[in-house]
Amino acid sequence: MVIEKKFLKGNPLKDISEYDFPGLRRALSLGQENVIQEISDSMLLGRGGAGFPTGTKWSLALEQAGDKKYFICNADEGEPGTFKDRFLLEERPLKVLEGLMIGAYAVGADEGFIYIRGEYDLPIKIFREILEDARDEGILGKNIFGSDFDFDLTLVRGAGAYVCGDETSLINSIEGKRGISRIKPPYPIQEGLFGNPTVVNNVESLACAAEIINKGAGEFVALGTDNSRGTKLVSLSGDINLPGVYEIEFGCGTLEEIINDLGGGVSYGNKPKFVIPGGLSTAALLPEELNCGYSYEDIEEAGSSLGSGAIIVVGESRDLVEILLKVSRFYMDETCGTCFPCREGNKQINFMLNQHKNKKFTRQEVEIIKDIGDAIAAAARCGLGQTSLSLIESIFDKFPEELIEEVRHSEKVRNR
Amino acid sequence: MKRLEIDNIEVEVEPGTTLLEAARKINVNIPTLCYEEELSIFGGCRLCVVEVNGGELLKPACATEADDGMIVKTHSPRVREVRQTLFELIIASHDISCELNCLTCTRQSSCELRVVAEDIGISRMRLNPIYRGLEKDFSSHSIVREPNKCITCDRCIRKCEEIQGIGIFANSARGPETEVTTFQDKGMGNVECTNCGQCIISCPTGALHEVYHSEGVWDALYDENKHVVVQTAPAVRVAIAEPFGAEPGTVATGQLVSALKRLGFDGVFDTNFTADLTIMEEGTEVVKRVTENDNLPVLTSCSPGWIKFIEHFYPDYLKNLSTAKSPQQMFGALAKTYYAEQAGVDPEDIVVVSIMPCTAKKFESRRPEMNGDVDFVLTTREAGMMIKSAGINICDLPEENYDNLMGVSSGAGDIFAASGGVMEAALRSAYYLITGEELEDIDIKPVRGLTGLKKAEVPINEDLTLKVGVAHGLSNARKMMELIKEGEEFHFVEFMACPGGCIGGGGQPIRADMTSEDALQKRLEGVYSIDSSKKMRRSHENPMIQKLYDEFLGKPGSHKAHKLLHTEYTARGLN
């Protein structure tokens, strides 16, 4: 029986007068290197989807020369099925702020931005008030808590582009440019916002960092599996009885258990047709593949990815083509339009799928879709493009009978 | 130094070298489309992706720096497969159809997509184009944009911004609808476009091309009641043979005359003649203004791209421009007066056609103050197409001479084709106009060549040393104007809108097979070879110019000359 493990979750924490920022105070007394050491010791992996070690990112940023550095909180949560950052922004915003300030202090940044998804009205309202109060209380400003740490934070409201969740696009957006990805290298750590070294961290990563400094790395590192430490906020959605945000310890159970024990089972039919384990950019898993443990390594071994922690359950009586069309439409609309494979590839795939509402695909059509998928995965300019066909390709792989025409006899003969 | 292995060949390169450059060093050609040597890296087309250390994710060679120990595969089976698919997608976005197809395309013989297709070894084409239904932009007198053909490689955007320093293009709309357009979609004719046509040279697909005048010229040639005369610009003769397979810089003056006579022109004349005339008018003006210290420096006025640039960006300096019309417009004005009189033809029946290396000349001919003196302007490319479609291969023709009255020119007229040429030509005559003696060392080398900004001091007499400047390419023009604004003193400054001057004009043949710098260098050599092989190398020595003044204009700067050969400018400012 999987149950929640509350490391990040807790009572609502929004009123600045009720919180003393013990983690930030501790960080200021530890010193920059020690803070980063503690984050490295915790083995925290970035929670935005790519899973890059947070301690490594911070220590690389600290090493960067230059007097001006920026620290950005990526709250442009847009991966379909993902709503765990919203939970933190609405329920535990002061922990997010604390993590952000700890990070900024650790890497030597004196200016920061929190870039919140445009549709997130409530989090934007909450953060507006928090920033105002924090400035009034001297929590933002000069010589914070009597230290020599100066920091100010600006709220930026996103304008609705999914691609701005990609850190380089997000940086362009803050600069007032088109939300399109930048060529890496240089990485933001080297040359980010306005050409200065810049750290971009996901909301959940920062909340984790705040709790790690509050409670010590030991408590965090003791949770989870060898390669996936701590807890993860999971967004459960789709054809499920109890959708919502759940905090679970890595390795505490299988995907199937999470869906049944926490999510209350499947709501559209008796069993899932398939499950998307990490947001729309990850490959589908069949019911028989769901007995894999919930950790980065186990889901990877099952052929998919933990991604942003969004588990989307698709009930057995759903129409596959309808799902394919919706997924493809999403990526077609949300490509930034800069690199050819992502822009033209997603457009072509949507075009081809649209022509097939009520009939099966020929082998040749599936081959074209696979070729385009492979080209995008291998050659697109940013993560959005590279993963945009993961789900669609996996659905074709896993449901050939349902989607692909039988090979006709004459073709079989010819192929010999 | 960085040591790496590309396609099993060891290679050592300077730090900062990209994989694309490193591969070229060992003669491995990686196909590219959005890459252009002189522009910033865009990394959009992804055709140059290569395998690095066997990684799943392929790396764009244009944007990846070589590093120690890298094992690079530029043409592995996987890379070639991905490239083929990418190319299929590109072609599908290029919208080939009945209306838009290779056979009617301006780039039918210089299509970069075709070159790339061959480089990749395309063996399949499985995707249908998705019609975008974008409207053509006909707002400009010089340039047409066909956005359905555009593959959004953004080379025009970067060319206009980085090389010309203007930036009339930008990406607009989101994601799949991303397109290249002008500010607020106003159209090229309604923004600060200088009509230089450098975007056309950069476009790999023919989504940008000149406003065609060839149909009008055919109609005039077929009309028995019309007397059709043609002028050929200095830079055309070193490029017109290129569409027929010749190397850039091949001098084909006589063959060009011959071809035009075969096409049926009633008079074949040389813009070099009016280039000599420009020197007489402008030179006289320079001498007068330098002596009287009147609105110095004098800025040249023959490049219409530069003129539109200064009208938009430096309108306060319009008073510094020479009032002399460009050679094209001087020719137009004289064709319908002097020539009409001498040939006994009603000016109403005369149709004046220009062959120019330039797209901005089309706009210039439509300026209201030019009275429609020039009826049609053909680019070098259009002239090449017309000649071809008349069944003529210019390379096979015998040489013929220009018609006499306005066909004789000095070497000074020839070098108008290259950056620094107008300056050199003017100095050759200004020296004479001021001192009454001939300049002995006639080759004024400091103003020649492809350096962006050139400066020289030319001693005239004990009291006067002329300080001159030369800028080509509009980024350089802007730099020069800023120097002038900051107070740097010049007497006379030459400006050309296009890099290299007219030899690199936006109307010149497009080379998909060599860098623009190589083509420029070869055309440059062609131009100076014509000048140095001529006996008559100073404009004021031209006997037909002397005859023109004697019989028609009086003297340089006369009232009649002013009426016909000088003009005024419009302060346009920013839209």
pLDDT in tens, B214-242: 999 999 999 999 999 999 999 999 999 99
Q: What is the pLDDT of residue A50?
A: 83
pLDDT of A407: 66
With a cut of 60, say whether residue B416 has pLDDT above it: yes
> Is the pLDDT confidence value at B409 over 70?
yes
Tell me the pLDDT band of A411, cut-offs 50, 70 and 90.
low
Q: In whole angstroms, give the CA distance from residue A249 to residue B351.
A: 86
**Residue B442 confidence class, pLDDT cut points 50, 70, 90:** confident
Contact between A348 and B130 using a beta-carbon 8 Å cutoff? yes
Confidence at residue B461, expressed as pLDDT on a 0 to 100 scale: 86
Partners of B378 in the β-ladder: B355
Predicted confidence at residue A413, as pLDDT, reads 52
- pLDDT tens, position by position, A180-239: 999 988 999 999 999 999 999 999 999 999 999 999 999 999 999 999 999 999 999 999
**In whole angstroms, what is the distance from residue A118 CA to residue A113 CA?**
14
Identify the closest residue of chain A to B40 by CA–CA distance.
A183
Cα B320 to the chain's mean position, in Å? Answer: 24
Answer yes or no: is pLDDT of B280 > 90: yes
Q: How far is CA B174 from CA A76, A334, A343, in A?
A: 18, 8, 10
Mean pLDDT for A313-324 is 94
Q: Which CATH number fits domain B2-90: 3.30.413.10, 3.30.499.10, 3.40.50.720, 3.10.20.740?
A: 3.10.20.740
What would the mean pLDDT of B47-74 be, rounded to a whole number? 97
Q: Is B358 a catalytic residue?
A: no
| Residue of A185, A334, A371 with shortest CB distance to B175 | A334
Instruction: Quote the CA–CA distance of B274 and B326 in Å, as a whole number.
Output: 8
Catalytic residue among B336, B361, B362, B522: B361
Contacts of A333 in chain B (CB under 8 A): 174-176
The shortest C-alpha distance from B84 to chain A (Å) reads: 9
Find all residues with CB under 8 Å of A412, minimum gap 6, and list them. none
Mean pLDDT of B83-108: 91
Q: Helix, strand, or coil here: B527?
A: helix
Pair of tokens at residue A157: 């409201």
Q: Do A337 and B174 touch (CB under 8 A)?
A: yes
Question: For position A416, what pLDDT does the model report?
Answer: 43
Domain segments of chain B as ranges: 2-90, 143-211, 215-565
| pLDDT tens sequence across A116-149 | 999 999 999 999 999 999 999 999 999 999 999 9
B45 is an active site residue: no
- Rounded distance between C-alpha atoms, residue A164 and residue B197, angstroms: 35
Quick one: pLDDT at residue B97?
A: 84
Q: What is the mean pLDDT of residues A231-257?
A: 97
Measured CA to CA, the distance from residue B566 to residue A415 in angstroms comes to 77
Topology given in CATH for the domain delimited by B215-565: Rossmann fold (3.40.50)
Chain A hits for B90, CB-CB cut-off 8 Å, are 340, 344
Spatial distance between the Cα atoms of B274 and B283, rounded to a whole number of angstroms: 13
Question: Do B46 and B84 touch, CB atoms closer than 8 A?
Answer: no
pLDDT digits (tens, 9 = 90+) for B515-565: 888 999 999 999 999 999 999 999 999 999 999 999 999 999 999 999 999
CA gap A94, A20 in Å, rounded: 10
Distance, CA of A316 to chain centre: 27
Over residues B167-194, mean pLDDT: 95
Is B43 touching A (CB cutoff 8 A)? yes
Q: What is the mean pLDDT of chain B?
A: 95
CB contact under 8 A, B82 and A374: yes
Please report the ipTM that was assigned to this predicted complex.
0.89
pLDDT at B515: 85
| Residue-range domains of chain A with CATH | 16-221 (3.40.50.11540), 231-315 (3.10.20.600), 320-403 (1.20.1440.230)
| A412: pLDDT strictly greater than 70 | no
| Coil, helix or strand at residue B152 | coil
Ranking A7-16, B119-128, B303-312, B437-446 by mean pLDDT, the lowest is B437-446
Note whether A177 contacts B: Cβ–Cβ < 8 A: no
The three-state DSSP-derived secondary structure of A371-386 is HHHHHHHHHCCCHHHH
Domain B2-90 matches domain B143-211 at the CATH topology level? no
Distance CA A206, CA A61 (A): 15
Q: Which residues touch A165 (CB under 8 Å, ≥6 apart)?
A: A48, A74, A76, A77, A78, A79, A384
What confidence category does residue B473 fall into, taking pLDDT thresholds of 50, 70 and 90? Answer: very high
Q: What whole-number distance in Å separates Cα of residue B359 and Cα of residue B371?
A: 19
Check residue B273 and give its pLDDT.
Answer: 96
Mean pLDDT (whole number) for B333-338: 96
- Given a cut of 50, whether residue B256 has pLDDT beyond it is yes
pLDDT on residue A409:
56
Q: What is the mean pLDDT of residues B450-474?
A: 92
Percentage of residues of chain B with pLDDT beyond 70: 100
Q: How far apart are CA B383 and CA B217, in angstroms?
A: 10
Compute the average pLDDT of residues B268-294: 94
Express each pLDDT in B130-171 by its tens digit: 888 899 999 999 999 999 999 999 999 999 999 999 999 999
Instruction: Mean pLDDT check: name the lowest of A288-297, B366-375, B460-469.
Output: B460-469
pLDDT at B470: 97
B496 token code pair: 């050309």
Of B302, B354, B409, B494, which one is the catalytic site residue?
Answer: B302
Q: Do A371 and B85 touch (CB under 8 A)?
A: yes
* Catalytic-role residue among B110, B322, B354, B365: B322
pTM metric for this prediction: 0.92
Residue B285 appears among annotated catalytic residues:
yes
Question: Where residue A408 falls among pLDDT bands split at 50, 70, 90?
Answer: low
Q: What percent of chain B has pLDDT over 90?
A: 91
Average pLDDT (A379-397) is 95
Query: Fold for domain B143-211?
Result: Alpha-Beta Plaits (3.30.70)
Chain A residue numbers with beta carbons less than 8 Å from the beta carbon of B74 are none
Q: Is residue B190's pLDDT more than 70?
A: yes
Contact residues on chain B for A351, CB-CB shorter than 8 A:
130
What token pair was written down for B116?
A: 């790339």
